Amino acid sequence: MSEQDKKPWGGRFTAATNEFVETYTASVGFDKRLYRHDINGSIAHATMLAKVGVLTEAECKTIVNGLKDILADIERGDFAWSVSLEDVHMNIEARLTERVGAVGKKLHTGRSRNDQVATDIRLYLREEIDALCEGLLAMQAALLNLAEREAETIMPGFTHLQTAQPVTFGHHMMAWFEMIERDRQRFIDARKRTNILPLGAAALAGTSYPIDRAYTAELLGFDSVAENSLDAVSDRDFAIEFTADAAILMMHLSRFSEELVLWSSAQFNFVDLGDSFCTGSSIMPQKKNPDVPELVRGKSGRVYGNLTALLTLMKSQPLAYNKDNQEDKEPLFDTVDTLLASVHLYTEMLADIQVNKKSMYEAAARGFSTATDLADYLVRKGVAFRDAHEVVGLSVRFCIDNNKDLPDCSLAELQQFSKVIEDDVYAVLTLEGSVSARNHIGGTAPEQVRAAIGRARARLGL
């Protein structure tokens, strides 16, 4: 074994690690993606140690320069990762000692891999939350643009996937905007609990060295330091919270995907997804398959699984750190990657959606979507709502038996169910009249949709 591959903890042991155990327990294959965060954390730690007099300024400078050189090596692909050194932390520390000599061995003074990895993960996740929130903002902007373009486009609104009342496509898109805004706010809130510094907790009990944790937190941009050393090294709540928020976001995207899959089918023909976001069939040349929304819908289960994995990982652990926690990274990394890719694809796909207004309008005109408007009309004429409900039900039954819709009925046909119905009823039976009548905050009237878009743009600073 080379000097570089010697384990920093090997002094206690008389036999080498079993080769299979070494491979089984190594995490460097996936945690090496934390290299930048690990190096930044180490630079801050060394700077703090120099400030409190544990390192000299010359030692600190040597260590910091060595770490920066290692960062450059990794980023140009000139770094050999060793499984025998287990993880990203020991690989970097071993290379540092090889590069700068014995002074490199002083870097780990006053810390443990337990608080080091907890710090690395928080630095990583904080950065990814910021990137995700930027992506969600871009997706929201795309939704607002689409909603504005289609503020007057009438489509059927559904309950139980049955035609209920006419709405506008713009209003429907604003419903998705509100869901994504709640998601974004959840991530912003989760970032607060992520941005707490564990470094200084050491293995589990703190350290006897005169460290300055507040200074380290300042250097790394943390809002505060973890108050309890046991909790600091064993807490993974922030990762679980992020993944729970991620599961909610993917649930929303899955619901959106389900609608896009339905709407782009020949049976609905409401929207046409851009060719760049669809694929064909190897046997049926006419096919245009909505693969992106289908795959996003499928990946929701992947993120749900990651959440379950993290919850299961933590559910039986005693304080403080346990090797189980090595298993926190792959579900977290996979969740981050899945979210960023899904949000990016959705943002681009929304900009390329074409709306078939004619099909939407014709679908809204079927299924008695203005039946509630007729009931409201009768109530305004003095009919009790339950009586009005029965009148409209009888009118719909008549239309079904005679293969027509409510606006197609003559006045005499409608009056057989209620004598209060007059010529002005036809104004409320039109799709346009129905939509425009919902003219209040949260309603589907085009005027309200545009107002909601304006408030949303102001809220987001767009």
Q: Catalytic residue numbers?
A: 160, 281
Question: What is the number of other CB atoms lying within 10 angstroms of the CB of residue 249?
Answer: 26
Residue 303: what residue type? V
CA dihedral sign of residues 443, 444, 450, 454: positive
Residue 324: what residue type? D
DSSP 8: T
DSSP per-residue codes, 440-455: STT--SHHHHHHHHHH
DSSP 233: H
Q: How many angstroms separate the CA atoms of 154 and 270, rounded? A: 11
DSSP 438: -
Q: How many angstroms separate the CA atoms of 170 and 272, rounded? A: 16
Q: How many angstroms separate the CA atoms of 35 and 32, rounded? A: 5
Q: How many angstroms separate the CA atoms of 107 and 151, rounded? A: 60
Tokens of 115: 């608080």
Phi, psi of 159 (to 5 degrees): -130, 140
Q: How many angstroms separate the CA atoms of 385 and 459, rounded? A: 39
Task: Decide: 140 and 181 in contact? Cβ < 8 Å.
Answer: yes
Tokens of 79: 């770094």
N- to C-terminal Cα distance for the chain? Answer: 58
